[in-house]
Amino acid sequence: MTKSRSKPGDLAAPAILPARPVLRVLGTAVTLHEPIRLKAQQDLGIDIVFAPMDGVAAQQVAVRHPGTYDLYDHWFHSLDVVWWSGALQPIDTRRILSWDQIMHRDQALRMTGRVDRSRSMPLSRLFVSPDRRLGIHRTETVTAVPGVYNVDAFGYLPGPLEALLPGEAESWGWLLDSRLSGRVALVADPTIGAAEAALAMMAQGLASFEDPADLSIAEIDTLVRILIGRKRAGHFHTLWRSVSDVVPLLEDGEVVIGSLWATALAGLWSRGVDVRNAVPLEGYRGWHGCMALSGRAEGRVADAAYDYLNWWLSGWAGAQMTRHGLYVSACDNIRPHLSMAEWFFWYEGKPAPSALPGPDGSLVIPAGTTRSGGSVLDRISNIALWNTTMREHNYLVRRWNQFLET
């Protein structure tokens, strides 16, 4: 039996539609949250795979395996390594729908924090010139799209601290105070941990550093020597790589003070833990997140990456991150997704007029609470240093690993 031939007017054979693009996002647990992935998939009609890692591991993968991800969701200071490895391609700001909003009003403050160290400012590594050099002078291409940002310090349990350090002002020096020995958690990331330890040593009078965000080789040796001595004396209860490692220790009271990020604070508050976010005398450690495009992304995948960037900046994801205690670069877009009470609390530093929800919807901010440090303007204006990849980064990592392995 022969097959009949199609004739003019017959129904055409069904078109073979291309498969949905798969967008792979490499980053950290700070921003790669499952509710955001699911919502983006639903809204964009694409498949999205999140690969959250600790900051160091994500940076290493970004440099060594650029073909394994399409977007790199990390921190601006990591671009000092990843950009110059050639793993990323410039982003065309003309394709970012909220770009004018991102660069409007207080963007310069959000990315400088009034810290007069041009090398450490996130803004100093934003714009890409035709020869791929980075700087603050505006072009139509950037290394990455600014995403979330915040100022960090340390968290502590007020009950034990008030008993051990009665009446003392909050200071980075508390991280190395011998009265807290054995109950301190320090972040294991070398760029962040070294900066916090340097601030603590300066506050305690243990060492002097010309720029704690950019240590010399001799200063790194001093820092590591002191840290190794404290570690051998049992001062540090843990050196944590993920916030999930330190949250249970504070919840159980094994740790009473430590490097702590906003996402960990939100998690502890949701568990009913009375943990306080410090406002150090010396100022905060500032950081700015960003989303960069892999140099291997092209065609439909690159288009999907731009769609995701625009979706992420459109408001819903930013509101979720706000409830984690983070700020968002395109902040006007998030206002329709927050209650007026949430906006007043998180951005304007005003007392919460009613109990406010955390990321999971449960009420975690009691009525009458004021955010420590005040408004976003107050907090971002009180930065001691920005997260920075030091010029002696390779040497720092080698010495820091010696500290971790001691």
Per-residue model confidence as pLDDT tens digits over 305-319: 999 999 999 999 999
- Total Cβ atoms within 10 A of residue 9: 5
Residue 200: phi, psi to the nearest 5? Answer: -65, -40
Q: How far apart are CA 352 and CA 345, in angstroms?
A: 5
C-alpha span between 137 and 99 (Å, rounded): 15
Of the candidates 12, 65, 20, the residue with the CA atom closest to the CA atom of residue 41 = 20
For the chain, give the number of residues: 406
- The answer to whether 147 and 167 are in contact (CB under 8 A) is no
Q: 174-227 pLDDT, tens per residue? A: 999 999 999 999 999 999 999 999 999 999 999 999 999 999 999 999 999 999
CA distances from 199 to 119, 206, 210 (A): 18, 10, 11
Point out which residues pair with 148 in neighbouring strands: 328
Cβ of 306: how many Cβ atoms within 10 Å? Answer: 18
CA separation, residue 84 to residues 43, 76, 146, 392 (Å): 34, 13, 18, 15
Give me the helix-helix angle, 262-270 and 243-252, nearest 10°.
Answer: 40
Q: Is 60 exceeded by the pLDDT of residue 10? A: no
User: Is the pLDDT confidence value at 4 over 50?
Assistant: no
How many angstroms separate the Cα of 241 from the Cα of each of 29, 61, 397? Answer: 11, 16, 15
Burial of 239 (0-12, 13-18, 19+ CB in 10 A): buried
Per-residue pLDDT, 58: 97
Give the tens place of pLDDT for each residue, 306-355.
999 999 999 999 999 999 999 999 999 999 999 999 999 999 999 999 99
